[in-house]
Structure 1
Amino acid sequence: MTETDAQAGVDWRTYTVSGLPPILETALACFMEHGYHGTTIRTVAARSQLSVPGLYHHYASKQALLVALVSCAMDDLWARSTAALEEAGDDVQRRLELLVECLVLFHAHRRGLAFIASSEIRSLTGEARTTYIAARDRQQRLMDQVIEEGVARGVFATAYPREVSRAIVTMCTGVSQWYRTEGEHTPPELAARYRDMTLMTVGAPSPARS
């Protein structure tokens, strides 16, 4: 989870403050408004009430701001996801349900951070891009492993576990592109619907239909 959540001892479903340093909060707002390439260091510095040299004291470049945001997003999601799986224990269907719940909650509550981490991969360069892709692939493997295990145990009936895994993750991460707090459903309500849709997709019995 973010450092603030972890220090507070809250569980993976709880979202309090973002845990981002103020400069990163400002950079995130600027990237959301103008895009990475449309944002200047001068803009971030001014909105942070810093001089440009003062901002450079904390972050060496605009790329460094983006890298820090992406790292925060992936670290937070990973910590929450592994905590969700730990809570589920050995029950493979429960592991799938809680992993989907975790993904939806994260992409609803941290929609700005998640959206920038996903959409601005094109702006990452060199080792930063390689590191991000490795973190994204590691996250995807959590879903791959749960679905493959469910198929092997006969709990899930899908004939296409790898493709279904990608589809489910894409569905969940897409929440950051459209979710609004003033919308029809709260994050937990949305997560419940996505859990049910996921179980139908993998061919498992759904609690809503049993």
Structure 2
Amino acid sequence: MSSTTPARDWRVYGRPDLDAVLSAAVDAFNELGYHAATVRDIAGRCGLSVAGIYHHHAGKQEMLMAVLTSVMEELKWRNAAAREAGGDDPVQRFCNQVRALTLSHIYWQKPTAIGSTEMRSLEEPNRARFITMRAELQEHIQRDVDLAVEQGAFHTGHPIMAVGAVAGMCLQTAQWYSADGELSPEQIAQNTVDVALDIVAYRPN
């Protein structure tokens, strides 16, 4: 998945660039669940025959993994850009990563929601690969939290649990966000950053 916006700005989001089949699969998986969705239903949603679907993707498992891989690749470059924008300050890098993770799960709500609801549907070795990609992303946040603890900016006594709680909070945004809500995505992201700083017991030096 790549942003349709011209500039590679981690704070700017366009529409997910998924092909017609994967877009239809995302809708079907969100509405029906992976196991209840059928290739025939996905084909109908994108205007192809069942045989036509198989010219693009080998089956539902390949579609699911293709969506999740696209999501993780998008998160990967945005996380790297967010860290770079934070310079040498682990606190700012932490805040930027939380903001990027939250905004990604808001703006790409349907594709990212599948990562939480349908990870159990991944077969090996896809499941192990996806878990590794997700862990690598969380490790970047963990390193900055650990460094901020060493520098005396974060005072949590449980940095590993704190990072898990923060990451889970960001991921869950895709489950409850509504465009009809009172807060904009940016306001929600800022609130998430504020709560994340509370979780790690931030105290300015």
Smaller-chain TM-score range?
over 0.9
The partner residue of 2:40 within 39, 42, 46 is 42
Which residue in 2 is equivalent to 1:24?
Answer: 22
Does residue 112 in structure 1 map to residue 110 in structure 2?
yes
Which residue in 1 is equivalent to 2:85?
Answer: 87
RMSD across aligned C-alpha pairs, in angstroms? Answer: 1.3
Which residue in 2 is equivalent to 1:33?
Answer: 31
Cα gap change, 1:4/1:189 in structure 2, threshold over 3 Å: closer, same or farther? closer
Which residue in 1 is equivalent to 2:157?
Answer: 159
Shift in Å, 1:3: 2.7
The partner residue of 2:70 within 69, 72, 76 is 72
Shift in Å, 1:108: 0.9
- How far, CA to CA, are the matches of 1:73 and 1:28 in structure 2? 12
- Note the residue ranges of structure 2 that are not aligned, 5 or more in a row: none
Identity fraction in percent:
34
SS in 2 for 1:146: helix
Does residue 139 in structure 1 map to residue 137 in structure 2?
yes
Could you tell me whether the CA contact under 8 Å between 2:15 and 2:108 is conserved in 1? no
- How far, CA to CA, are the matches of 2:190 and 2:38 in structure 1? 40
Runs of 4+ in 1 over 3 A off after TM superposition: none
Does residue 177 in structure 1 map to residue 169 in structure 2?
no
Q: Which has the higher helix share?
A: 1
- How far, CA to CA, are the matches of 2:2 and 2:48 in structure 1? 24
TM-score by length of 1: 0.93
TM-score by length of 2: 0.95
Shift in Å, 1:9: 2.1
Q: Deviations over 1:6-44 (max 9, x none)?
A: 7x2230111112111111111101111101011000111
Could you tell me whether the CA contact under 8 Å between 2:82 and 2:97 is conserved in 1? yes
Shift in Å, 1:193: 1.0
SS in 2 for 1:58: coil
Q: Aligned residues, how many?
A: 204
SS in 1 for 2:165: helix
- Note the residue ranges of structure 1 that are not aligned, 5 or more in a row: none
Does residue 13 in structure 1 map to residue 44 in structure 2?
no
Does residue 58 in structure 1 map to residue 20 in structure 2?
no
- How far, CA to CA, are the matches of 2:165 and 2:150 in structure 1? 19
Shift in Å, 1:153: 1.2
Shift in Å, 1:205: 3.6
Which residue in 2 is equivalent to 1:98?
Answer: 96
Q: Which amino acid aligns with 2:19?
A: P
